[in-house]
Chains A and B, each alone.
Chain A
């Protein structure tokens, strides 16, 4: 499973420039992106907002205190990744200058000058009497979400939303779960996977975000809904008030489909009166918009768990879902109308651990869901219990596997020593035996270590000695290669406009890795050295 706290902004950074440009055509998107920037980056944007010409980097540096230059680097990097700062052409001026992305600047100015939150629709008097209240909306959202998760556990059917003829959703929750890897199909039925168990222990915000991310990627893959439409709608939602009606009439068709799909997930509530339809962002949307805008929303007074030092867990709940989650790592003792008592046992915890849940996840879950009466205590979970769970985990991890490469049959003790020194310097050395001249290195660091200006790669492979160097400067890439029995040396130089690639060197190196060369690989190489290396690793 990818990092559950992977935030929205990280997702944007991975999008190709064309899509980002398209997103910046909406001022809601610009404002939401602005809000999620690091604090220093926000200040940079504000300073540049009403300036039309570019600034050299030295100007930015003069704004920041000398001791916190790292913040400056982080801010500039994040602005560049999001294409908010674009550097001007180097040819026109000697020093490259930075200015704001033109459409981002324009939209942000627009947002700042006359920004009003998206208009809340006023219900006609006839519709007001049957309109949902805030309490009923909260109840609906919680119920809906619980049933979605229960479906994942396999004890209920997926919840259905109120059907509205004009807004048909094609979203299939089961397929969404499966593509997120939370459920695996087994014949006709499908069962929860290890990832699914981990998913259950996450907090609601992370769960929501996991599903939405999957929804966005699915949208991208199937081409059903325009990705930009999904994202811009989500970001606009970040500025809407939860539990207030918004009219569906003004939405574009793309947005209407998104509304229908989000209603399936319980993020929106659809309300129809006569021919008009309104949507209400529910509390799920509220907690989501917090994460979209960069600040986690803490939910207070929601916890229901008390953990005692004797491993007893008292859960003030009667929700089947919460009981189901507890049963992952605790043995049920009694169930009373409003109370569920369970005991954390070694057997259960081990079962949970072996299905991929980590001890920290269990403890974090117990902490997050702590009853308000104990939530203020430190530590929330008694130390004995937390430590014991961690001990059970370490018991299972006495032997640790690290994927490694073994190098042997070095031609000379000298070569062996050089290699050990190189591996040590790069933090890649796992094990060495000077007598037998064995050396083991980390797979991850096997092929490359990269510094800012140069990539050097020292490589000694089984049976033969190959030495490989790359050094990369701004203008040229040089590759020196020594392979068994023969020496091949090849240089290629790279300029901004053209990439020349030595096919011979490629063939030679591919041969020494024992891989059939592919044209595709050559192309990749010419673009990005380390993509090439990972391809080789995979090979």
Chain B
């Protein structure tokens, strides 16, 4: 997942640290693969994909980009994205398409699952997020979290700003992921390496830092009604549908009754 901005860090420094993290992640295991999705106002895009992301065992044809450093590729596409943003887009800030990016990530994971002969993928989504939550996408985002939980995908989040994101705290809560807002961004890499590089298998054994524990709990408590309302909203919608159906059934039944009565009368 991409970040929109890293206010106090500077985009180039941020990129460097992310690239190092990506390299470290790929180095952890030879089967580790990843796709980076960047999002910016109104749009999201796959920035980088490990070759053979969708087919683990495919015999690859000769591809000169195979030997290109990952960092160069990633930085290039991030720059491209930034340029697109500068060129001719509305000047007023548009909310980030977080839900779209999350769904895109889920789709990628699904594709990777289908393409690979290995059934034991342990997928994770890591959101490096520095923008305010887009409230208008509340339901869409919650839906992506629920489907992630259903598909056994963890959603980890690393917040880059000074604000906590209620949405992503929810994500960590629902999917069993890890949520962290580093107090100092210049040590971002250390946080990435020591918390977010921990794979799902090792999480059984390792204590992940609970640095935002208190605020998470508070925020979690504060957000609980909101989450409920989201669920309720869904339930309400379903309830309304059910009611409608029940009504239709009833009218159908009465109609049948009326028809039967009429038939009985006609016979008599």
| A-to-B contact residues, CB < 8 Å | 31, 34-35, 39-40, 42-43, 46-47, 49-51, 62-65, 68, 71-72, 111-120, 122, 134, 241, 243-244, 290, 293-295, 300
Is A47 a contact of B27 with CB atoms below 8 Å?
Answer: no
Provide the bound-state CA to CA distance between A266 and B64, in Å: 26
- The answer to whether B29 and A47 touch across the interface, beta carbons within 8 angstroms, is no
Determine if A290 and B27 form an interchain contact, defined as CB atoms under 8 angstroms apart.
Answer: no
Note all chain B residues with C-beta closer than 8 A to A42: 28, 202
Check: B30 CB closer than 8 A to any chain A CB. yes
- A115 interface neighbour in B69, B194, B199, B206, Cβ under 8 Å: B69
- Whether A63 lies near B64 (C-beta < 8 A) is no
| Cα distance A300–B30 in the bound complex, in angstroms | 18
Contacts of B67 in A (CB 8 A): 116-120
Contact partner, A50, options B66, B190, B205, Cβ 8 Å? B190
Contacting pair B189 A40 (CB below 8 A): no
B207 within 8 A of A: yes
Find B27's partner among A51, A65, A112 (CB 8 Å cutoff): A112
Answer whether residue B60 sits at the interface, using C-beta atoms and an 8 A cutoff.
Answer: yes
Report yes or no: B31 in contact with A295, Cβ–Cβ below 8 A.
yes
Contacts of B71 in A (CB 8 A): 113-114
Q: How far is the CB of B185 from chain A (nearest CB, A)?
A: 15
Are A39 and B201 also in contact (CB < 8 A) when A115-B27, A118-B67, A295-B29 are?
yes
B59→A39 contact, CB < 8 A: no
A-B contact pairs, 20 of them (CB 8 A): A35-B28, A40-B202, A42-B28, A46-B28, A46-B194, A47-B194, A65-B204, A65-B205, A65-B206, A72-B205, A111-B27, A112-B23, A112-B27, A115-B70, A117-B66, A120-B62, A122-B64, A134-B59, A241-B60, A293-B30
Interface-central residue, A46, A49, A72, by most chain B CB under 10 Å: A46
Interface centre among B28, B198, B206 (most CB of A within 10 A): B206
- A65–B27 Cα distance when bound, in Å, is 24
A40 CA / B206 CA spacing, docked (Å): 8
Is there contact, CB below 8 Å, between B205 and A40? Answer: yes
Interface flag for B83 (CB, 8 Å): no
- Tell me, in angstroms, the Cα distance from A50 to B64 when the chains sit together: 32
Q: How far is the CA of A491 from the CA of B228 in the complex (A)?
A: 75
Assess the A244–B27 pair: CB atoms within 8 A: no
Known: A35-B29, A46-B28, A72-B205. 18 other contacts (CB 8 A): A31-B27, A39-B202, A40-B205, A43-B197, A46-B194, A65-B207, A111-B27, A112-B20, A114-B71, A115-B23, A115-B69, A115-B70, A116-B68, A116-B69, A116-B70, A120-B62, A120-B64, A295-B29
- When the two chains form their complex, are residues A47 and B205 in contact, meaning their CB atoms are under 8 A apart? no
B68 and A68 within 8 A (CB): no
User: A520 to chain B: closest CB distance in Å?
Assistant: 45
Which residue in B30, B59, B199, B206 is a CB contact (below 8 Å) of A35? Answer: B30
Residue of A nearest to B192 (CB): A46
- For the complex, give the distance between the alpha carbons of A117 and B117 in Å: 24
Instruction: Flag whether B193 is at the interface (Cβ < 8 A).
Output: yes
> Which positions 133-175 of chain B face chain A at CB distance < 8 Å?
none
Question: B244 within 8 Å of A by Cβ?
Answer: no
Residues of B within 8 A of A134 (CB): 59
* Chain A residues with CB under 8 A of B68: 116
| Across-interface contacts of A122 in B (CB, < 8 A) | 64
Decide: A43 and B206 in contact? CB cutoff 8 A: yes
Q: Confirm or deny: B242 has a beta carbon within 8 angstroms of a beta carbon on chain A.
A: no
Chain B residues with CB under 8 A of A300: 117
Q: Does B246 contact A (CB under 8 A)?
A: no
Closest 10 pairs (CB-CB, A-B): A68-B205, A116-B69, A47-B194, A39-B202, A46-B193, A112-B23, A71-B205, A293-B30, A119-B67, A112-B24
- Could you tell me if B193 and A50 are in contact, using CB atoms closer than 8 angstroms? yes
The answer for the CA separation of A250 and B7 in the assembled complex, in Å, is 45
Point out the residues of chain A lying under 8 angstroms from B197, CB to CB.
Answer: 43, 46
Distance A68 CA – B207 CA, assembled complex (angstroms):
10
**Structural contact, A62 and B30, CB atoms closer than 8 A:** no
Assembled-state Cα–Cα distance A368/B189 (Å): 44
Residues 93-116 of B at the A interface (beta carbon under 8 Å): none
B31: A residues at CB distance < 8 A: 295
Complex: A243 Cα to B61 Cα, angstroms? 10
A51 to B190 alpha-carbon distance, docked (Å):
9
**Alpha-carbon distance A60/B193, docked complex (angstroms):** 15
Known: A39-B202, A65-B205. A120 touches B30 (CB 8 A): no
Query: Roughly how many angstroms separate A65 CA and B210 CA in the complex, as a whole number?
Result: 13
Contacts of A290 in B (CB 8 A): 30
B201 CB contacts on chain A under 8 angstroms: 39
Q: Which residues of A contact B24 (CB under 8 A)?
A: 46, 49, 112
Q: Nearest Cβ in chain B — how far from A510, in angstroms?
A: 48
Give the Cβ gap from B184 to chain A, nearest Cβ, in Å.
Answer: 14
CA distance A516 to B211 in the complex (A): 66
Complex formed: what's the CA distance from A123 to B199 in Å?
39
Shortest distance in angstroms between B155's beta carbon and chain A's nearest beta carbon?
Answer: 20
Q: How far is the CA of A95 from the CA of B188 in the complex (A)?
A: 29
In the complex, what distance in Å separates the CA atom of A294 from the CA atom of B29? 9
**Bound complex: CA of A42 vs CA of B28, how far in Å?**
7
Q: Do A114 and B202 have beta carbons less than 8 Å apart? A: no
Do A241 and B66 form a contact, CB below 8 Å, given A43-B202, A46-B197, A65-B205? yes
**B190-A62 in contact (CB<8A):** no
| Nearest neighbor of A114 in chain B, beta-carbon distance | B69
Those of B182-240 within 8 Å (CB) of chain A? 189-190, 193-194, 197-199, 201-202, 204-207
Residue in chain A with minimal CB distance to B62:
A244
Give A55 Cβ to nearest chain B Cβ, in Å.
12
Q: Shortest distance in angstroms between B163's beta carbon and chain A's nearest beta carbon?
A: 27
Q: Is the CB of B206 within 8 A of A295?
A: no
Residues of A within 8 A of B70 (CB): 115-116
- Cα(A34)–Cα(B29), bound, Å: 9
Report Cα–Cα, A31/B201, bound state, in Å: 20
- Measured in the bound complex, the distance between the Cα atoms of B54 and A319 in whole Å is 35
Contact flags B23-62 to A (C-beta < 8 A → 1, else 0): 1100111110000000000000000000000000001101
Q: In the complex, what distance in Å separates the CA atom of A50 from the CA atom of B206?
A: 20
Q: How far is the CA of A113 from the CA of B202 in the complex (A)?
A: 24
B contact residues around A111 at 8 Å (CB) = 23, 27
Instruction: Please indicate the chain B residues that have their CB under 8 angstroms from the CB of A72 in the complex.
Output: 205
Q: A42-B28, A241-B60 are in contact. Are A113 and B206 (CB under 8 A)?
A: no
CB distance from B152 to the nearest CB of A (A): 19
**CB-based contact B20/A64 at 8 Å:** no
Q: Given that A31-B27, A241-B60 are contacting pairs, would A43 and B198 also be in contact in the complex, using a CB cutoff of 8 Å?
A: yes
Partner of A62, one of B23, B62, B207: B207
- Interchain CA distance A134-B205 in the complex, whole Å: 42
Q: How far is the CB of B56 from chain A (nearest CB, A)?
A: 11
For A34, list chain B residues within 8 Å (CB).
27
Chain B nearest Cβ from A229, distance in angstroms: 23
| Minimum distance in angstroms from B156 CB to a CB of chain A | 15
**Inside 8 A of A40's CB, which chain B residues have their CB?**
202, 205-206
- Report the nearest B residue to A122, measured CB to CB: B64
How far is the CB of A220 from the nearest CB of chain B, in Å? Answer: 28
Are A295 and B66 in contact, with the CB atoms below 8 A? no
A47 to chain B, nearest CB (A): 4
